[in-house]
Amino acid sequence: MTNHIALYEPLMPANTGNIARTCAGTNTKLHLIRPLGFSTDDAHMKRAGLDYWDKVDITYHDDLDDFLNSIPDDKYLYLITKFSNKVYSDQDFTDTSADHYFLFGKETTGLPEDFMRQNPEKCLRIPMSDNIRALNLSNSVALVIYEAVRQQKFAGLELSHHYQHDKLD
């Protein structure tokens, strides 16, 4: 089982860099769906990901259909949007027999409305007040992926870390 984060037409290199770092820290695959609003060699994106780029498994897709066609079974495809009544933390992500795909929209307009209307059963929401249009994309990704790995008992992740010279019992 692998978790996947997919970004639909991301616009801001710093968000994508932060998300890449989160993917490296959670052993999550990253999918970038074109067109991108920046060059992948953008200095802001590289700086946000720091020195973790070699730890991120990234796949590029020409468009949304290309991404969707790459998924063997969309049963575990989740569309993260504010246009849902289902809360992300109420969803069960514990099935370890299949990959889980979390699709996030671009920072300004989210996912295509017609696509979400065709797939309402796949839509999940992060609760927030109506004081803002949306949470920051990289924060949203972190919330959702950490809920998924929490439910999956943090499989493959370090649950504790020790100083090199002073191991605590």
pLDDT computed for residue 15 by the predictor:
92
Euclidean distance between the first and final Cα of the chain, in Å?
32
Predicted pLDDT at 48: 58
* Domain residue limits at 147: 3-151
Residue 27, domain member (yes or no): yes
Binding residues for S-adenosyl-L-methionine: 80, 105, 126
In a domain, 114, yes or no: yes
Q: Does some domain include residue 163?
A: no
83 occurs within a structural domain: yes
- Domain with residue 29: its CATH number is 3.40.1280.10
- Residues making up the annotated binding site are 80, 105, 126
Q: For residue 56, tell me if it sits in a domain.
A: yes
Q: How many CA atoms lie within 13 A of 53 on its CB side?
A: 14
Residue 47: inside a domain: yes
Q: What is the number of domains present in the chain?
A: 1
Residues 6+ apart with CB under 8 A from 136: 15
Task: Please check whether residue 169 lies inside any domain of the structure.
Answer: no
pLDDT averaged over consecutive 10-residue blocks of the chain (169 residues)? 97 91 96 91 62 88 98 96 96 94 97 96 96 95 98 91 66
